[in-house]
Amino acid sequence: MTTAEEMRQKFQALYNMMAASQNVAFMHAFGKVHKEMIEWFIQNKPDLAQEWIDKLETIKWHNYLTPKEAEKIVDNMQPSAPWSREQWKQAMMMHQYPTEEEPYYNSCALWVTMNMKMSDSSNTLKKYVDDNTLFELVHALAIDSLKDKDGVFNIRKYFGL
Q: What pTM was computed for the model?
A: 0.80
- 151 and 79 within one domain: yes
Task: Give the chain's domain count.
Answer: 2
CB within 8 Å of 24: residues ≥ 6 apart = none
- 89 and 153 within one domain: yes
- 111 and 36 within one domain: no
- 79 and 38 within one domain: no
- DSSP conformational letter for 101: B
- 32 and 99 within one domain: no
Q: Give the pLDDT score at 13.
A: 93
CA distance 99 to 157: 21
**Does 59 reside within a domain?**
no
Give the count of beta carbons closer than 10 Å to the beta carbon of residue 125: 16
* Segment-wise mean pLDDT, segments of 10 residues, the chain, 161 residues: 89 91 91 94 94 87 93 95 95 96 96 96 92 93 94 92 91
**Does 37 reside within a domain?**
yes
Q: Give the pLDDT score at 150.
A: 86
CA distance 83 to 50: 24
Q: Give the pLDDT score at 140.
A: 97
**Does 51 reside within a domain?**
no
DSSP 3-21: -HHHHHHHHHHHHHHHHHH
- 100 and 131 within one domain: yes
- 86 and 154 within one domain: yes
- 77 and 115 within one domain: yes
Q: Give the pLDDT score at 131.
A: 85
DSSP run (H or E) holding 56: helix 46-56
- Please give the residue range of the domain that contains residue 106: 67-158
Length of the chain: 161
